Amino acid sequence: MNQHTRFNLPICLAVEEDAFFHSDEIVRRYIPEITGQKTIIVSEQFLIDIYQEKISDISSDFGGAEIVAITSASFDQAVSIAKKVCIEDIKVIIGIGGGRVLDTAKYAAHISKAVYICMPTSLSNDSLASPFSVLETEGMTRKTIACKIPTAIIVDTNMIIAAPVGQTLSGIGDTIAKHTALFDWKLCAAKTSSNVEDFAYALARMSYDSVYHCDEKDLKSRVFIRILSRALVMGGLAMEIAGSSRPCSGSEHLFAHAIEEYYPRIKISHGLAVAMGSIPACIFQQQTPEGLISFFHTYGLDFNPQTYGITEDIFADLWLKARNVRPGRISILSETEYDRSQLNDIYNRMVES
Ligand SMILES: [Zn+2]
**If you measure from the C-alpha of residue 257 to the centroid of ligand 1, how many angstroms do you get, rounded to a whole number?**
10
Residue 24 CA, ligand 1 centroid: distance in Å:
29
Distance 64 CA to ligand 1 centre (A): 34
pLDDT at res. 138: 81
Q: How many angstroms is it from 34 CA to the middle of ligand 1?
A: 31
CA 38 / ligand 1 centre spacing (Å):
32
Residue 282: how many CB atoms within 10 A of its CB?
A: 23
Ligand 1 centroid from CA 33, angstroms: 33
List C-alpha distances in Å: 286 to 180, 204, 279, 280.
Answer: 11, 21, 11, 10
What are the contacts of 241-244 at 24+ separation with CB within 8 A? 241/3, 241/7, 241/197, 241/199, 241/200, 241/203, 242/3, 242/196, 242/197, 242/200, 242/201, 243/1, 243/3, 243/6, 243/7, 243/197
pTM for the whole thing? 0.94
Residue 229 C-alpha to ligand 1 middle, in angstroms? Answer: 14
Q: What are the residue ranges in the chain where pLDDT is below 50?
A: 1-3
Q: What pLDDT, on a 0 to 100 scale, did the predictor assign at position 141? A: 78
Q: Tell me, rounded to whole angstroms, the distance of Cα 81 from its chain centroid.
A: 22
Task: State in Å: Cα 275 to ligand 1 middle.
Answer: 10
Q: Hey, what CATH class is 166-352 in?
A: mainly alpha
Q: What is the pLDDT of residue 140?
A: 65
The predicted pLDDT at position 5 comes to 61
Where in the chain do CATH 3.40.50.1970 domains reside?
A: 12-162
Parallel/antiparallel/unpaired status of strands 115-120 and 152-156: parallel
Domain with CATH 1.20.1090.10 in the chain: 166-352
Look at residue 339 in the predicted model and tell me its pLDDT.
92
Whole-number Å distance, alpha carbon 245 to ligand 1 midpoint, is: 9
| pLDDT for position 324 | 93
The CATH topology of domain 12-162 is: Rossmann fold (3.40.50)
| 61 Cα–ligand 1 center, Å | 33
Distance 175 CA to ligand 1 centre (A): 8
Q: What is the pLDDT, as a whole number, of residue 323?
A: 94
What's the pLDDT score for residue 197?
Answer: 95
Residue 297 CA to ligand 1 centre (angstroms): 20
Quote the ligand 1 centre to 25 CA distance (angstroms): 31
- pLDDT given at position 82: 98
CA 254 to ligand 1 centroid distance, Å: 10
Q: For residue 351, report the distance from its CA to the centre of ligand 1, in Å.
A: 23
| 156, β-bridge pairs | 16
d(CA 179, CA 287): 10
Cα 137 to ligand 1 centroid, rounded to whole Å: 19
